[in-house]
Amino acid sequence: MPARRPVPQLPSLACSARASATAIRHLPYCRSPLITLICVLYPLFAVPAPAADYEWVKVTMKAPFAPRDGAGALSFQGQMWLIGGWNPSAAQRAFFPRICNNEVWNSTDGADWSLVKPNSFEDQSFDPLADWEGRHTAGYAVFRDRMWIVGGDVNQGHYQNDVWNSSDGKHWKRVNPEAPVPWAPRALHYTVVHDDRIWVMGGQTMPAFAKDGVGERFYRDIWTTQDGREWTKVTPREPYWSARGMIGGSAVLHGRIWILGGGTYDTPQTPTRKFHNDVWSSADGVRWTQHTAAAPWKPRQYHDVATWDDRLWVLEGYHREGGNRNDVWYSADGQVWHEVPNTPWRPRHAASVFVHNDALWMVAGNNMEPDVWKLRRKPANQGASQQRLPSIQP
């Protein structure tokens, strides 16, 4: 993909007005009419600092795990944890006997990986109360000193309405053995940790895959929990984001949950998928702010989002026009976006993206290669400007 030079953006009128008001409040410190004029006018014409300078580093093209997409990606106890995943290829059947597996790998440096939990999801003798079924594109979170798996997919002909957690990646406990989650049935939901709670948002049913007779549903609801068993439904106020899911990773920045794009999967009743590139945020899940109706990055689904280097990130994904993508974008405020040029890795969707050791990591995905890359700031620009998110009023 050719490099795109970020275009300098002038501050919005509202931001300039707030900045001018701040300057005026400090006018007693200005000792001359000229300095007073500068104090007032400078914020109106100041151009934000240029985009930061990042570079991709290839760590390995041949990690020891089999290629996969939709695997969970968590940074926990100083290591990256790769959880489950999907690969329907006959060539990988030994690793994915039922399309998805439940193995767990970890690594401190992205080059050397250890198999912490071998796959046990092999045949019909599997006990779903003793271990979690293989899955991909589930909800994944680090919460209260444990790794969590929240819900799952529909590849086994049913919805995975269970919640599991682990403190070591090897031994997993089912948190809700008595009853499914109250927000079932759904897949492709968005999961984050915010305000000392796990949040589940959006998603949909998959009637072409499930055999339970549940029809088509596209969700735009919100649920929270502190233990995985008891869930509270949050009622958002209009306006807020439309029904969607298919967002990997999580984005929580400056005390706010961020919805970055997303979409819907096709169903027999609604065969056309939806793709979004709008940006929303909320501090409480009730009052939402739309920062842009159309970000400069192409609408997408099955992409990954993250927060790193005090910025929001959108990476790769899928759109029906052009298929898999390999573009990478970041923003300090959800409104002004910059693209990282010259992405060296192959287009993909449903990758595993980690924030680990002051870097952003890209691992595997629908390119179906066991590759590992990391994005870092170029050393010469460690002192480059850090754009900060202004206060956002709900």
Q: Which residues contact 178 (CB under 8 A, 6 or more apart)?
A: none
Note if the bond before 239 is cis, omega within 30 degrees: yes
- 11 CB neighbour count, 10 Å cutoff: 18
Distance CA 387, CA 8 (A): 13
Type of residue found at 25: R
Extents of the domains making up the chain: 1-48, 49-381
The pLDDT value recorded for residue 52 is 75
The pLDDT value recorded for residue 29 is 37
User: Per 3-state DSSP, what percentage of the chain is helix, strand, and coil (rounded to 5)?
Assistant: 10, 35, 55
Note if the bond before 185 is cis, omega within 30 degrees: yes
| Averages of pLDDT over each 10 residues, the chain, 394 residues | 39 40 38 48 46 92 98 98 98 97 98 98 96 98 98 97 98 96 97 98 97 93 98 98 98 98 98 98 98 98 98 98 97 98 97 98 98 92 45 45
Q: Is 249 left (phi over 0), alpha (psi -120 to 50) or beta?
A: left
Its pTM stands at 0.85
Distance CA 101, CA 120 (A): 8
DSSP state letters, 259-304: EEEEEE---SS--S-EEEEEEEEESSSSS-EEEESS-SSPPBBSEE
Q: How far is CA 168 from CA 77, 127, 173, 174, 253, in A?
A: 9, 21, 11, 14, 27
The pLDDT value recorded for residue 143 is 98
Find tokens 């990256």 and name the residue.
80
User: How many CA atoms lie within 13 Å of 245's alpha carbon, on the beta-carbon side?
Assistant: 27
DSSP state letters, 2-33: ---PPPP-PPPHHHHHHHHHHHHHTGGG--SH
* CATH architecture for the domain at 49-381: 6 Propeller (2.120)
